[in-house]
């Protein structure tokens, strides 16, 4: 009889606690992220998502509990944790004075990588930014800045990427572009921990979802497992109306001539 050994979690969090004065932000948070998966940490503002990510990325020290990233203890071996991760915050951390390509080259040089220009060109192509690579980042749309930010986070081939609310403030099309980028990263074997307050985001992206509420994980499982927590709703057959997102994307994706014809006929 053979036994199957499960791989060690890429991120393993046990009884994590953090308080600011009298306010206990994290109250025994626990979860595990499988290698090469997208893990969605879902919660409203103030639930403790960013605090959790800051602890895991060694920017903040927990009061108690333990956490390991890529097998390294975040408290005992922070240097090796930082060497194997990348963090993208809620707002794109690009230098607006530099071009997109220059931003990528700068990060590659800071990571002491050779052939920084070639690295930049590969990432510009991967994230559909080649045509904009020579423009200053200040001219980029929100979605383009976010894609550049994620591209910058990939320099050095980190095994784990923390994305802290990566689509905050983006328009619907830009959100979809970022979703595509995240999905592509996971297909390449990168482990992604995604924090968000958007239900549709984790529903579309995450292999596993943990719901963080008032500093506690109150549910953890696949989408199907979470759906099983509630009894099935009574089915009513009604005509399905398009959502506002579907309407917006349908209209904005029309060819200019089609839109002009529609306007002329009105």
Does the residue 47 lie in any domain? yes
Is residue 71 situated within a structural domain?
yes
Lowest mean pLDDT segment, chosen from 17-26, 50-59, 195-204, 236-245: 236-245
What pLDDT does 44 receive?
87
Residue 261's pLDDT is 42
Is 2 among the domain residues? no
* Amino acid 78: pLDDT: 96
Ramachandran assignment for 253, one of left (phi > 0), alpha (psi -120 to 50 degrees), beta (any other): alpha
- Write out the residue range of the structural domain in which residue 145 sits: 11-94+140-240
Task: Indicate whether 65 pLDDT > 80.
Answer: yes
Residue 60 has pLDDT above 90, yes or no: yes
Give a yes or no: residue 112 inside a domain: no
Average pLDDT over residues 103-126: 93
Would 263 be classed as within a structural domain?
A: no
Does residue 149 lie within any of the structural domains?
Answer: yes
pLDDT at 263: 44
70 pLDDT band, cuts 50/70/90, is very high
pLDDT in tens, 187-228: 888 999 999 988 889 999 999 999 999 999 999 999 889 888
Cα–Cα distance for residue pair 193/161, rounded to 1 Å: 6
What integer pLDDT is reported at residue 111 of this predicted model? 87
Q: Is the pTM of this model over 0.85?
A: no
Q: How many domains does the chain fold into?
A: 1
> Which CATH number belongs to the domain containing residue 66 in this structure?
3.40.50.300
pLDDT of amino acid 73 = 97
Answer with the residue of higher pLDDT: 119 or 261. 119
Task: Indicate whether 129 belongs to any domain.
Answer: no
In a domain, 121, yes or no: no
- Counting other chains too, the contacts that 57-63 makes at CB distance below 8 Å and 24 or more residues apart are 57/81, 57/82, 57/85, 57/87, 57/162, 58/82, 59/87, 60/18, 62/16, 62/17, 62/18, 62/26, 63/17, 63/18, 63/19
Q: Give tens-digit pLDDT for 142-196.
A: 888 888 988 898 898 899 999 998 888 778 888 888 888 889 888 888 999 999 9
Q: What is the mean pLDDT of the chain?
A: 86
Question: What does the pLDDT look like over 18-47, one tens digit per residue?
Answer: 999 889 999 999 999 999 999 999 988 889
């Amino acid at each position: 009889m053979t036994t199957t050994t499960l791989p060690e979690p890429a991120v393993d969090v046990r009884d994590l606690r953090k308080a600011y004065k009298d306010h206990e932000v994290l109250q025994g948070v626990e979860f595990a992220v499988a290698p090469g998966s997208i893990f969605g940490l879902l919660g409203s503002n103030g639930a403790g998502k960013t605090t959790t990510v800051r602890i895991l990325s060694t920017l903040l020290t927990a009061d108690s509990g333990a956490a390991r990233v890529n097998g390294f203890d975040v408290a005992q071996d922070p240097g090796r944790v930082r060497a194997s991760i990348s963090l993208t915050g809620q707002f794109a951390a690009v230098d607006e004075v530099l071009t997109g390509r220059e931003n990528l080259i700068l990060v590659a040089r800071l990571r002491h990588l050779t052939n920084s220009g070639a690295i930049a060109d590969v990432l510009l192509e991967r994230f559909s930014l080649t045509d904009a690579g020579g423009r200053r980042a200040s001219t980029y749309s929100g979605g383009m800045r976010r894609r550049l930010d994620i591209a910058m986070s990939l320099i050095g081939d980190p095994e784990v990427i923390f994305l802290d609310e990566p689509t905050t403030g983006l328009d619907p099309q830009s959100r979809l572009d970022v979703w595509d980028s995240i999905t592509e990263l996971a297909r390449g074997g990168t482990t992604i921990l995604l924090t968000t307050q958007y239900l549709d985001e984790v529903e579309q992206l995450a292999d596993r979802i943990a719901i963080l509420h008032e500093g506690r994980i109150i549910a953890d499982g696949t989408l199907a497992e979470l759906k099983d927590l509630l009894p099935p709703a009574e089915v009513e057959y009604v005509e399905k109306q398009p959502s506002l997102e579907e309407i917006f994307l349908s209209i904005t994706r029309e060819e200019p001539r089609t839109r002009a014809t529609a306007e002329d006929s009105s």
